Structure 1
Amino acid sequence: MQFFGIGIHVLIALFFAVHVVRSGQNIYWLIILFMFPLLGSLVYGLAIYLPSTRIQHGAKRVLSAAGNILDPNRELREAREAFDYTPNAQNQMRLAAALLAADQPSDAASNYEACLQGPFAADPTIRLGAAQANFACQRYDACIAHLQNLRERAPNNSPEVVSVLMARALAGAGQVTEARAEFEFALQKFGNFDTRAEFAIWAISVGDKETAYRLKTELDQTIARWNRHNRDLNAAMLNRLSKAFS
């Protein structure tokens, strides 16, 4: 099928090329998309674009939960085997993500940092993974440094995630005033459930009950409209909220 003489696969490649630029992905994706528009679009869509959408996030969480019940160590085992067999950057990225998901943040951070020393040093996905791993290790200064780099070099890459993680890292580093300012910015800019929940959890932890319970009331109104599927998808956050306010 063609539109105005242009093949639809080329139009799809152009759409993904715009996403590459706007989301701050590595420039090599543009080369792949323009040299191999059909195959490149397929790979980019599955590897980068779909994981960034809300629908894919929900589906991945459901599939991940089911997989973890049946074989909780499968992804880590397969990622480690792949890296041992072919120790390239792509397999190391996969291993780092699997280690972080398996609650081994120190090893995950080491692998992410190693990836940032090679040709993927400018990849925002790796940089964000390194920030998350360092946060999990309570290396808040390192986390903040990675997030600042992301904001400078790839400001359109997962801005909500970056902002909330920045607020939490600032709080962990003892920068209370800066953390509050970042939480307030994230709430005003994005205002999604996770942002509001993280702000509420932090507020109650520092004794700001007025802010905490105001946010909790808003969260409860949202939760009341959820079906069972939504509650299951957000079970971890709901559990953290319950513990924080208990």
Structure 2
Amino acid sequence: MPVVFLLSIALQVACAVHVVRSGRPLYWIWLILIGSYLAVLVYVLIAVLPDLRHDPRGRKAASKALQMIDPQRRRRELQRRLELSNTVDNRRHLAEESLQLGDYTNAQELYQGLLTGMYVTEPDFMLGLARAQSGQGDHVAARRTLEALIQANPGYKSSDGHLLYARCLEELGESEAALEEYRVLADSYPGEEGRFRYGRLLARTQRHAEAKDVWQAQIRRAELMPGYYRRKEQPWLKAARLELAQLGEP
């Protein structure tokens, strides 16, 4: 059966399902079946695209699709905004997007430019700078930035900042100090990364029995969580299972 014919059927079925779910008049189904590609195109333009614009899930899906096709699109838009108006908010948004894209050099320059005047000790900017420094492998500078952040903002709390500090200690070879930080994160971090990294550092320091206990408890705990949580944290749970398998645990 020709591929073009199969594609036509698939598109017609998808549009017919949309007709039923959206509560549109059923005569649309007959038009779609009779008109093939032309009817599908008309229906998409008249019904599907407007629905996507008004449906938060549709807008989110469309945004993800655009991001996959052109990952630099949002950064170009933010760069244009900054060129039009050199505000703190526009620089912050561009710095955050640079971090997301892994452009740590540009992110560092932007955050350093933000940390002046009344924002010289802004904790979110200092954390962003530390993330950029760590992303470039400069864990000494990242640690120094995080320590300066806490000194200037003793009441500031950030699970991501705490995790980054523990990772810096680990990268710098300060295993015992890193384990102390990870031990706290194993109970407080809102996700599985803290628990996984705690177990992994225990294993790296030859404390295999403790590492097994951490990973097994992590997996048991995750089994009690809602499905969406397990899906979101799947990479860390999978990593924990792989580490257990290497230690001979089922």
**What TM-score range do you get, normalising by the shorter chain?**
0.5 to 0.7
For residue 135 of structure 1, what is the aligned residue in structure 2?
A: 134
Distance 2:95 2:228 in 1: 29
Larger RCO, structures 1/2 (Cα 8 Å, 6+ apart): 1
Q: Secondary structure at the match of 1:155?
A: coil
Is structure 2 residue 213 aligned with structure 1 residue 217? Answer: no
For residue 18 of structure 2, what is the aligned residue in structure 1?
A: none
**Normalising by structure 2, what TM-score?**
0.63
**Aligned amino acid, residue 70 of structure 1:** L
Distance 1:88 1:238 in 2: 41
For residue 70 of structure 1, what is the aligned residue in structure 2?
A: 66
Displacement, 1:79? 1.8
Within a 5 Å distance, the mapping from 1:90-105 to structure 2 comes to 90-105=89-104
Aligned length: 183
Distance 2:117 2:162 in 1: 26
Displacement, 1:157? 2.4
State percent identity of aligned pairs.
19
**Normalising by structure 1, what TM-score?**
0.64
Q: Which runs of 5+ in 2 are unaligned?
A: 1-58
Q: Secondary structure at the match of 2:176?
A: helix
Displacement, 1:106? 2.1
Displacement, 1:178? 1.9
Query: Could you tell me whether the CA contact under 8 Å between 1:124 and 1:150 is conserved in 2?
Result: yes
* Structure 1 residues 67 and 204: CA distance shift in structure 2, 3 A: farther
Query: Could you tell me whether the CA contact under 8 Å between 2:126 and 2:149 is conserved in 1?
Result: yes
Q: Which moved more, 1:233-242 or 1:113-122?
A: 233-242
Query: Could you tell me whether the CA contact under 8 Å between 2:175 and 2:201 is conserved in 1?
Result: no
Distance 1:243 1:193 in 2: 18
Q: Secondary structure at the match of 2:119?
A: coil
For residue 164 of structure 1, what is the aligned residue in structure 2?
A: 163
> What is the RMSD computed on CA atoms of the aligned residues?
2.7
Per-residue displacement from partner, 1:74-104 (whole Å, max 9, x unpaired)? 4323222222222232211111100111121
Displacement, 1:149? 1.6
Displacement, 1:191? 6.0
Query: Could you tell me whether the CA contact under 8 Å between 1:200 and 1:211 is conserved in 2?
Result: yes
**Aligned amino acid, residue 213 of structure 2:** R
